[in-house]
Amino acid sequence: MPPGLDTEVQYLKGVGPKNAMLLQKLGLRTVWDVLWHFPRRYEDRRDIPPLMYLKPGRHCTAKGKLIDVKSRSIGKGRVVVQGVLSDKTGEVALTFFNQPYVGQQLQKALGRQVVAYGSVREGYRGHLELHGVEWEAIEDEDLDEFARIVPVYPLTEGVPQRVVRKAAKSAVEFFANQVADPLPTSLRSEEKLKSLAWCIHQMHLPDGDDERIEARRRLAFEEFLYLQLSLQMRRNEVKQEVGISFPVSTLGAASEPPPGALGSTLFAEPMKEGRTIWDEVHEMLPFTLTGAQRRVIDEIWEDMERPAPMNRLVQGDVGSGKTAVAACAMLAAVRCGYQAAMMAPTEILAEQHFINLHRLFDQLGIKVVLLVGKQTPTQKKKASDQAANGEAQICIGTHALIQEGVKFAKLGLAVIDEQHRFGVLQRMALRQKGTEPPDVLVMTATPIPRTLTMTVYGDLDLSVIDEMPPGRKPIKTHWKKIQDRSQVYATVRKLLDEGRQAYFVCPVIFENEKMEAQAAEDLFYRLSREEFQDKRVGLLHGQMKPFEKEEVMEKFRQHELDILVSTVVIEVGVDVPNASIMVIEDANRFGLAQLHQLRGRVGRGEQQSFCVLIADAKSEDGILRMEVLQETTDGFRIAEEDLRIRGPGDVMGTRQSGDLEFRVADLIQDSVLLERARQCAIRILQKDPGLTSPEFAGFVAKVRSKRSSEALVTVS
């Protein structure tokens, strides 16, 4: 940090010790902290309309004399405070709910000029009110200073805007030019970026909208650049490793195993001469692959042939056939004389994969074993021994696969399903099970917007299965209110009488005083004793013991149960083609992506399937989620909407990591800028792979810091 920027805030002009204590509540202790504490929005006060021209439904700035302050109780300890502003044309009330302390502050400002910003609404008898108000009293000599683009900073309780504004103004005027610019002049020229000092000045004290937007663009680009450099460096390091070159294209040309492969007689016989890998795929799969599946398989096999380790992400919507694609990758690895392992986040999903893959590979003489936590010590030892001596060519499991005692004879391919449930460290732990770096294939049924893919999974090559198997009928989704429940139950009964099965999904297991929501245990009791007492009803939730969960699921698979009442434990890995309707209780309690995942448990058979969302959604976001689910089954569109509603940190579960918490950049608003930063990072590393050139010295430390934080990210 250049000298002077570590100066304590109390020494800034207009701050002093008292205001410095307030600023510390925001974590602002030095000049540097203040310079990088950017406004969250701006108010253009250059043209403030007379009060008579304020229009309901808009956010506006109002200026007038504070002529009255009132407080009144609205019951249950709640209070409404109103201050009345007046000018020559009219009046507007500043309305505050449950903020009694504001009344005292307004009393001190009575008779003074006040400026306020908020949402204009029509109140009692048509009188105008400002809601969500930010306000301050101004002196006559402040009017010229006031009539400008004013920064509005993020605050905490007890810290006024004027204190932060004074500190920022002083910091910019006296210290901004001392900030060293980490970006080389050549890069700034190439990308048409302004200097850092100029940008900091325009962010805090903008000359106009164009200047403010230009400053923000440079700062957002810089944030994206550091992240993309760290991701591309990690990608390049993996590409430089010497891994396994699987001779997939020559399989069947010779009867001998490839050089370096396991020669164990316990392995399956190599492919017969004259047969291609595609011949075995067609024999293994009981259906025809889609064009998208074939394209992705070709991309994977091409990667496997290269000597550098594969590091590929396969995205595919619910039901698009990712497991079949993974099976083809594992088949290639095994036929080349190596082992494959698949790690799933839950035992239910791991067991589902084991059942399906065992059925596919058994006909080719390829041995598949299961390794999960619930197995007995004897079962675990047997599976571990088979993995260690090479008898098990494919191992399916949960986190049990990366336990210290589990070894592989010759692991060549690691498949990680539902990647968003695992962290980078867990992915690395599975890779380290190989005697040489294995190829890694990660899969997710949670469609991820391109902007998030580039930031969270930028070190991976990407394949997308963007085509559904033929004959799959889109799931019809309906949003019903709570009072329509009897009608919904009648529809469920009709389908059950036709021989179908149904899911009922609840947000909680037990009744909870803190959250009024349908509990799974309560619904199970009610359905089994009342509405569907003549049907077979089962209960499944996360607090049940593993063998209890598997017993219930197996009964549902075998149609020994007609209805399964469950929590989100069925979100992934449950495949019952005869289940053709899902009722999601209190659907507004779930996120958009989660609702889409749950919906994907039906629609797996040939018959028409339905998803019914029972929700008393009242908030704008809640209503939007219900409407989007009704309108589309396109997981990628749903993912984009989810990102727009919740933001990147919540969508990816990485809020705590800080990895996606940018000061300025916005993944939705700045998607084009993100792509430019990615391309720029690629060009920089082509020129200087290790960032050893003196021109990059200004940001090497930031890239290293970003890289060290990535290893701790767990996407959940």
pLDDT of residue 550: 79
CATH 3.40.50.300 maps onto the chain at: 248-306+321-444, 476-632
- Full DSSP string of 669-699: TTHHHHHHHHHHHHHHHHH-TT--SGGGHHH
Four-way CATH pick for 47-147: 2.40.50.140, 3.40.50.10490, 1.10.150.240, 1.10.1840.10 = 2.40.50.140
Query: How many residues make up the chain in this entry?
Result: 716
Report how far apart, in Å, the C-alpha atoms of 637 and of each of 452, 592, 629, 633 are: 14, 11, 10, 8
CATH 2.40.50.140 maps onto the chain at: 47-147
CATH topology (fold) of 476-632: Rossmann fold (3.40.50)
Q: How far is the C-alpha of 178 from the C-alpha of 625, rounded, in Å?
A: 48
CB of 500 closer than 8 Å to CB of 608: no
Q: How far is the C-alpha of 638 from the C-alpha of 644, rounded, in Å?
A: 10
CB of 251 closer than 8 Å to CB of 265: no
CATH topology (fold) of 248-306+321-444: Rossmann fold (3.40.50)
pLDDT of residue 265: 36
Dihedral, CA of residue 148, residue 153, residue 156 and residue 159, to nearest 10: -40
pLDDT of residue 147: 67
The H or E element containing residue 576 is none
Tell me whether strands 501-505 and 563-566 are parallel, antiparallel or unpaired: parallel
SS3 of residue 92 by DSSP: strand
Report how far apart, in Å, the C-alpha atoms of 73 and of each of 70, 125, 287 are: 10, 19, 69
Encoding tokens for residue 100?
């009694």
Encoding tokens for residue 152?
């509005």
Q: How far is the C-alpha of 155 from the C-alpha of 170, rounded, in Å?
A: 18
The H or E element containing residue 118 is strand 113-122
pLDDT of residue 230: 86
Residues with Cβ within 8 Å of 428's Cβ and at least 6 positions away in sequence, in order, are none
The two counts, helices (H) then strands (E), for the chain are 24, 20
Q: Could you say which residues of the chain have pLDDT below 50?
A: 254-268, 652-658, 711-716
How far out from the chain centre does Cα 413 lie? 26
Q: How far is the C-alpha of 648 from the C-alpha of 635, rounded, in Å?
A: 16
Dihedral, CA of residue 230, residue 235, residue 239 and residue 244, to nearest 10: 130
User: For 83-107, what is each residue's pLDDT tens digit?
Assistant: 999 999 999 999 999 888 899 999 9
Report how far apart, in Å, the C-alpha atoms of 368 and of each of 183, 328, 339, 383, 548 are: 53, 14, 10, 10, 24
Residues with Cβ within 8 Å of 545's Cβ and at least 6 positions away in sequence, in order, are none
**Whole-prediction pTM:** 0.68
Give the residues across from 71 on adjacent strands: 81
Q: How far is the C-alpha of 307 from the C-alpha of 336, rounded, in Å?
A: 14
Residue 65: closest CA among 144, 166, 159, 135: 135
Report how far apart, in Å, the C-alpha atoms of 293 and of each of 315, 327, 465, 574 are: 11, 11, 6, 21
Q: How far is the C-alpha of 24 from the C-alpha of 151, rounded, in Å?
A: 19
The H or E element containing residue 136 is strand 128-138
Q: How far is the C-alpha of 225 from the C-alpha of 681, rounded, in Å?
A: 6
Q: How far is the C-alpha of 554 from the C-alpha of 575, rounded, in Å?
A: 11
The H or E element containing residue 502 is strand 501-505
Q: How far is the C-alpha of 129 from the C-alpha of 552, rounded, in Å?
A: 57
pLDDT of residue 600: 86
CB of 565 closer than 8 Å to CB of 520: yes
Q: How far is the C-alpha of 652 from the C-alpha of 715, rounded, in Å?
A: 6
